[in-house]
Amino acid sequence: MSSRSQIFFWGSSHAVPTIPGQEAQSGGHTAPAGPVPGWKCLCFEWLDPLLLLLIGLFLIDNMYPFLWWGDGPELLTAARCKGVAHPTGYPLYLVLLDWFFLLPFGSVAWKGNLFSVTSTLLGVFFLLRVMPVRKDRLWIALGWRLGILSLIASPIFQRQSSLAEVYALSFLFLAGILWRAVRFADAGTALHLILLAGLCGFAVGHHRLLGLMLPGLGLSLIPRLREQTFSLRMILFSGLVFGFCLFLPYTLLFMRAQGSPPLNWEDPSSLQNLWRIFSAEQFRIDQKVQRMQLWLAYEKGLAGHPWRVILAEISSIPHLWWHQFLLSSFLIVPGVFWWYQRSARLLVSSLTAWFLPAFLSFNTRWAIVNPFISSALPGCIGNRLGLGLPAGAFKRF
């Protein structure tokens, strides 16, 4: 198998990945890549549009028509009144949400909920593009789609995709980054690197937790980076694009604040205040207060040792995963096992992309909502491998 076909999800639609046992059946030669022949071609050609239609109808049917749980009321108000949300401000979310307010129908709450539905549906579209249906990896591609369906049907995805919250847009950025990473791993051109850097910048600017997935992503792309040997000037330029896209939405908060006092939270009319919002200073203060409360409760004999409390919360991760993700959480197990057999580098990169944000989520007591982000990547990987490869192996035997 060529080194190119091993890069990130076994390449994109142009690479020719192989499945164990395939070489033996074809006399030592890899089966030619291409579309599924015969009547199956027409079926699989319409498979992704049909899935998008069904998922879209499912999400719209479950969408709340009014205000509901979370930060939705605050985000809707900040976007409607050109204000500032809680740290880190979420300026990109507010701008995109403001565009949805231009719709000539529906209430403000309904438009905000529709924005989350649209973001989730676009995220599904990009995930489908990560693994196109092809003859050489038919069962893997079908397993990937079954995994996406189980992910969308999980309770936390249904909730976050049906109300005005920032996590649906985070899912869209995550799916887009995976898609652009596959394109970069396949083509490896400077343009793909720049586009990937810009998208990562916008993603991290939207939600800092997505930045903790970048080490795992970078680890998976090391072979392509070594193969292409980009010049130092190109790498520095990609870094500048990342930084520009990271800070660009925050310039809007600064310019808005020059005209009138912004609604809610801090005033970003000065660069110092803008940095406080960007760096989530208020969040760090809240975390210090929370840790002090834990120690005070321990000293008064009202609670156990803070580390014992944290360990107890970490031990509840499997239960939380099952409660929030159902089948998706279970299918990560065979997926990780297959990565171990297939590629240690990809196994480490996927676990790194999960562990860093997941640890921060549980350590800062965001466990209710942030698994929506921190489990999306290994969930999709595990679902595809957990469902697709056993089905393909069963067919061969």
Amino acid identity of residue 53, one-letter, is: L
Question: What are the tokens at 117?
Answer: 């539905």
Residue 372 has pLDDT above 50, yes or no: no
pTM exceeding the 0.85 threshold for the entire prediction: no
Q: Residue 17: which H helix or E strand, with range?
A: none
Question: Residue-wise over 101-117: b if at least 16 C-beta within 10 A, else e?
Answer: eeeeeeebbbbbbbbbb
**What SS3 state is found at 10?**
coil
Residue 191 has pLDDT above 80, yes or no: yes
Output the average pLDDT for the chain: 72
Question: What are the tokens at 337?
Answer: 């096992």
Higher pLDDT residue, 392 or 111?
Answer: 111
In a domain, 297, yes or no: no
DSSP 5: G
DSSP 264: S
* pLDDT band for position 228 (cuts 50, 70, 90): confident
Top mean pLDDT of 108-112, 130-134, 223-227 is at 108-112
Identify whether the C-beta of residue 390 lies closer than 8 Å to the C-beta of residue 334: yes
- What are the backbone angles phi and psi of residue 65, rounded to the nearest 5°? -90, 5
Question: Where on the phi/psi map is residue 366: left (φ > 0), alpha (ψ -120 to 50), or beta?
Answer: alpha
What pLDDT is recorded for position 223? 75
Cα 343 to Cα 339: distance, rounded to the nearest angstrom? 6
Residue 169 burial (CB count, 10 A): 24
Long-range (24+ apart) CB contacts under 8 A made by 316-324 are: 316/367, 317/358, 317/362, 320/367, 320/371, 321/371, 321/375, 323/155, 324/154, 324/155, 324/156, 324/371, 324/375
Q: Can the peptide bond before residue 229 be classed as cis, meaning omega within 30 degrees of 0?
A: no
What pLDDT is recorded for position 341? 60
Taking residues 310-316, report their average pLDDT: 66
**Domain interval for residue 347:** 4-279+316-396
In a domain, 294, yes or no: no
Residue 289 has pLDDT above 80, yes or no: no
Higher pLDDT residue, 38 or 379?
Answer: 38
Lowest mean pLDDT among 72-86, 233-247, 314-328: 314-328
Work out how many domains the chain is built from and give that number: 1
In a domain, 268, yes or no: yes
Lowest mean pLDDT among 61-65, 192-196, 295-299, 391-395: 391-395
Cα 139 to Cα 38: distance, rounded to the nearest angstrom? 17
What pLDDT is recorded for position 390? 43
Binning the chain into helix, strand and coil, the percentages to the nearest 5 are 75, 0, 25
Taking residues 325-352, report their average pLDDT: 62
In a domain, 311, yes or no: no
Residue 33 has pLDDT above 80, yes or no: no
In a domain, 285, yes or no: no
What pLDDT is recorded for position 379? 44
Taking residues 327-347, report their average pLDDT: 61
Cα 394 to Cα 256: distance, rounded to the nearest angstrom? 60
In a domain, 79, yes or no: yes
Higher pLDDT residue, 318 or 298?
Answer: 298
Residue 378 has pLDDT above 50, yes or no: no
Residue 165 has pLDDT above 70, yes or no: yes
Residue 20 has pLDDT above 60, yes or no: no
Identify whether the C-beta of residue 209 lies closer than 8 Å to the C-beta of residue 170: yes
Crossing angle, helix 344-363 and helix 376-396, to 10 degrees?
Answer: 140
Q: What is the C-alpha end-to-end distance of the chain, expressed in Å?
A: 22
Using the Cα atoms of residue 344, residue 346, residue 349 and residue 352 in order, give the sign of their dihedral.
Answer: negative
In a domain, 307, yes or no: no
Residue 295 burial (CB count, 10 A): 12
In a domain, 132, yes or no: yes
Amino acid identity of residue 91, one-letter, is: P
